[in-house]
Amino acid sequence: MTTNKRGIELLHDPSLNKSTAFTEAEKQALGIVGLVPDVTETEDLQLSRVIDATRPQDHGPRSLHLPDQPARPQRKHCSIRL
């Protein structure tokens, strides 16, 4: 990566920010040590995690069990004093 940006300025640029995909050497050279997580992941791993998170999940039956409800709605009364 070739850029004149360093530190937080680099991280605010979406076209340059690789999040956790920066290597330790890149973090040192770009002055972002301590500004990004210590974890280093590949961009492919980040992409697969995002894809998995956006896939529809199978949560079993589509019915919802509700507790027994009264036969008719109960009215709630309150009084307001002014």
Q: Token digits for 6?
A: 């360093």
* pLDDT on residue 27: 94
* pLDDT on residue 16: 93
* pLDDT on residue 65: 61
70 three-class SS: coil
**Does the pLDDT value for residue 62 go beyond 90?**
no
0.85 surpassed by pTM:
no
Angle, CA of 24, 28 and 29, to the nearest 5°: 115
* pLDDT on residue 80: 65
Encode pLDDT of 1-35 as tens digits. Answer: 688 999 999 999 999 999 889 999 999 999 999 99
The residue among 39, 18, 48, 20 whose CA lies nearest residue 1 is 18
Cβ neighbours, 10 Å, residue 30:
20
